[in-house]
Amino acid sequence: MRKLPFLIILLTALSLTAFSLRVDAADRITGKPFATRSEVLATHGMAATSQPLATQAALDILKQGGNAVDAAIAANAVLGLVEPTGNGIGGDIFVIVWDAKSKKLYGLNGSGRSPQALTLDWFHKNGYQKIPAHGPLPVSVPGTVDGWFMLHDRFGTLPMKTVLAPAIQYAREGAPITDLIAYYWQLSVPILRQYPGFLEQFTLNGKAPRAGEVWKNPNLARTLEKIANEGRDAFYRGEIARTIANYVQAHGGFLSEKDLADHHGEWVQPVSTNYRGLDVWELPPNGQGIAALQILNILEGFDLKKYGFGSPEHVHLFTEAKKLAFEDRARFYADPAFQKIPVQTLISKDYAAKRRALIDMNRAARRYPPGLAENLNPALEAGDTIYLTTADKDGNMVSLIQSNYRGMGSGMTPPGLGFILQDRGELFDLTPGRFNSYAPGKRPFHTIIPAFITKNGQPLMSFGLMGGAMQPQGHAQIVINMVDFGMNTQEAGDAPRIHHSGSSQPTGERMHTGGELNLESGFPYATVRALMKKGHKMAWALGPYGGYQAILRDKNGVYHGASESRKDGQAAGY
């Protein structure tokens, strides 16, 4: 009997040794301890989306001879069916394209404008202090379909009938709904059921489809088929446009047939900053992409590698840089057709150095003064979106993000069309005289942003991370994880994330309490304690931590695909 404790100790030691060997082996195979899987490698083509069926649709298009742009449109169209909780043709689109032939980046701003008949004075006379989140008033012109055709006309190869065929087939025959999408869908039904057309077109007998149920949308199939056969004007003129306008106006909104007919997206020049040898590219406002560049510029002055991933210094410096960038985000990011946005000043190294000097290594700021003297202009924290990226055998790469905003959008569901209109107009400010103040025919501040990285003028990585105000925070973290902490594309997305909220708010209030810092599980508790000592208000939260996809092209021409482990993401190649 006296030998029993020794046997227990021996068996325990052997067990721990075996466990240690397994962990070491896993680390050698997958890399960082938090990595969920290896990168996906391929040479002929790659797609990374938030849903496997969309990824496979993109690959099918590539295998039929389509290019990365064709594949991206096909995947986006499929996502509108299988992930309507984040996107659809009632929303807007932003894209960065690397064109291998011209060896250049092209940016597409596919955001829609506010109704011409709706004025700031109308909101004030009717007692509105902010634009509602749902219903007819936040509806702006959907820019996605026009964006698809702008991309296709310039870069596409296969006929649009072929490109949209997978989405049309799934919409007609049905596709099974995943656990995650079923979860978000059932959250939206109680909120949106009051709006005409929603229950009839986006529920099964009044309820969200459950996980594993096959979802069909024959109305969407007919709409997509009409667009595929007749072109972009089939959406913005004629029967579809008339149905949208009549429906919105019948229920108290202002969107008109002329608003739809007058819509046009815009080709824009992406802007960049160099972060430790890599050029990181974003689109200029009305989106929030340059906030990521501002964060990176500020952090470039600190040796993050020395501090180490997950250290108190790493998290503290990132959070303070985010606060500084978001003060400018709150004031200046708006439609450049209505305001002169000081983009080059905001993303300059000199401006970053001045702002960096305000950071106290030992104390979290409760607020920061504005860097430039302008009126406050609020921006929202929330948002649900899809991000996808594709690449082809010729080296073309696409970074695409698309959204209805607030999950399924406004709830306004025009009869017989199979999609929900976006509520992006909620992001306008109703205070007169600010950069993002509401005006007729104006594009609202936008949260959705695609990103791209080049090195020495050559394409390196197409990437993005959906999730409202998390997006620029996520973009900066992906770059830092790879550059400063030596992670590969999958590890950079799997690493636990930092999310700070409470910067300048939609009501126009200045940050005065320092906001709230959420750390995803995986950060050491010693870091949490140290951050609390610095004055950060810590809170455990489920999110939002965003949804990430990426494709990297190495010097051998091999694509490295990565996808979001927190969602249904899949990267696949051939």
Q: Is 385 assigned a catalytic role?
A: yes
CA 498/CA 510 separation, integer angstroms: 22
The structural architecture, per CATH, of the domain 268-381+448-457+465-557 is: Orthogonal Bundle (1.10)
- Domain residue ranges of the chain, discontinuous segments joined by +: 42-263+385-427, 268-381+448-457+465-557
HSE on the CB side for 344, CA within 13 Å? 2
Q: What is the pLDDT of residues 530-573, one digit of tens each?
A: 999 999 999 877 777 999 999 999 999 999 999 999 999 999 99
Q: What is the pLDDT of residues 289-332, one digit of tens each?
A: 999 999 999 999 999 999 999 999 999 999 999 999 999 998 89
CA 443/CA 445 separation, integer angstroms: 7
The dihedrals phi and psi of 547, each to the nearest 5 degrees, come to -130, 125
Q: What is the pLDDT of residues 225-265, one digit of tens each?
A: 999 999 999 999 999 999 999 999 999 999 999 999 999 99
pLDDT at 371: 81
Give the other-Cβ count within 10 Å of 44's Cβ: 14
Q: Please check whether residue 535 is in contact with residue 18, taking contact to mean a CB–CB distance below 8 angstroms.
A: no
200-209, 408-417, 491-500, 507-516: segment of lowest average pLDDT: 507-516
Q: Residue 329's closest CA among 433, 525, 468, 173?
A: 468
**What is the average pLDDT score of the chain?**
91
pLDDT at 369: 84
Q: Please check whether residue 146 is in contact with residue 236, taking contact to mean a CB–CB distance below 8 angstroms.
A: yes
CA 266/CA 261 separation, integer angstroms: 15
Annotated catalytic residue, options 55, 162, 273, 385: 385
Q: What is the pLDDT of residues 262-274, one digit of tens each?
A: 999 999 999 999 9
CA 572 to chain centre: 20
CA angle 313, 316, 317 (to 5 degrees): 80
- Is residue 173 over pLDDT 80? yes
Q: Residue 266's closest CA among 365, 151, 161, 408?
A: 151
Q: Please check whether residue 455 is in contact with residue 351, taking contact to mean a CB–CB distance below 8 angstroms.
A: no
Whole-model pTM: value is 0.92
pLDDT at 106: 98
397: β partners: 98, 391
